[in-house]
Amino acid sequence: MGEIILQVNHLSKSFGSHEVLRDIDFTVKKGDVTSIIGASGSGKSTLLRCINLLEIPSGGEVIFHGENVAGRHMDPCAYRSKVGMVFQSFNLFSNMTVLENCMVGQTKVLKKSYGTARENAMKYLERVGMAPYINAKPRQLSGGQKQRVAIARALAMEPEVLLFDEPTSALDPEMVGEVLEVMRGLAADGMTMLVVTHEMAFAKDVSNHVVFMAGGVICEQGSPADVFGNPQRQETKDFLARFRNN
């Protein structure tokens, strides 16, 4: 059994009187690939944003290596260098080149030298197949290429966990494969990943834990074999049936 990296305990989040997350509990161990699935509006993005402190949880705990980061004393930049995030809409810095995008966090947050940051950025750009594009600006790239740069940028911080929020949802269908392939490679190399996805084949084949959310709660969670092969809750069955019919 791997070491516990992240523990979400009784997490809740409300926007005004709208309760979006309620009593969320799950654990991430080193090397886990956890897929979070569920209908639109079920709270998946809000959950990832709470874990990454882009939103402040209303209640409960996000425990990273034994420390509650939802408490007040955490520097969010330092924390996010350990718990990185890849967004649906890439969020690259449009005024910077591909290489600069992959260096800026390293020099500004991790205080690495230019040379070290460049070398490290190149390593991860090569890994995602984007080394030939180091001088390009994001607008010159396809969606799939942008997302691969965003993954390289996140990896260049050498995080312990990577969060992905629907990384292929904004892509043209022909570009989904290249991004999923990079993610499959990371999973095979033991990267700890938490992936919000509508790619049920990815959730089934690549992850070792599946969390199904409905209406702001975890309706069901377990191994892919259990959640996909033998769902216990009617909500899970209905959700999966809708995917099969698509």
Rounded distance, CA 86 to CA 214, Å?
Answer: 23
Phi and psi at 92, nearest 5°, equal: -75, 155
Q: Tokens standing for 170?
A: 């904004």
Smaller CB separation from Mg ion, 98 or 200: 200
Does residue 145 belong to the site contacting Mg ion (CB under 5 A)? no
Task: Show the binding pattern over residues 26-45: x = contacts Mg ion (CB under 5 A), - = does not.
Answer: -------------------x
Does residue 44 belong to the site contacting ligand ATP (CB under 6 A)? yes
Rounded distance, CA 134 to CA 129, Å?
Answer: 11
Options 2, 41, 177, 185; binder of ligand ATP; rule CB under 6 A: 41
Does residue 15 belong to the site contacting ligand ATP (CB under 6 A)? yes
Does residue 46 belong to the site contacting Mg ion (CB under 5 A)? no
Smaller CB separation from ligand ATP, 40 or 246: 40
Options 7, 34, 35, 45; binder of ligand ATP; rule CB under 6 A: 45
CA neighbours closer than 13 Å in the CB half-sphere of residue 127: 21
User: Smallest gap, in angstroms, from Cβ of residue 45 to ligand ATP?
Assistant: 3
Smaller CB separation from ligand ATP, 45 or 207: 45
DSSP line for 48-70: HHHHTTSS--SEEEEEETTEETT
Smaller CB separation from Mg ion, 7 or 45: 45
Q: Tokens standing for 109?
A: 């947050």
Rounded distance, CA 69 to CA 79, Å?
Answer: 8
The H or E element containing residue 84 is strand 83-86
Residues that bind ligand ATP (CB under 6 A): 15, 18, 20, 38, 40-46
Using CB under 5 A, list all residues that contact Mg ion. Answer: 45
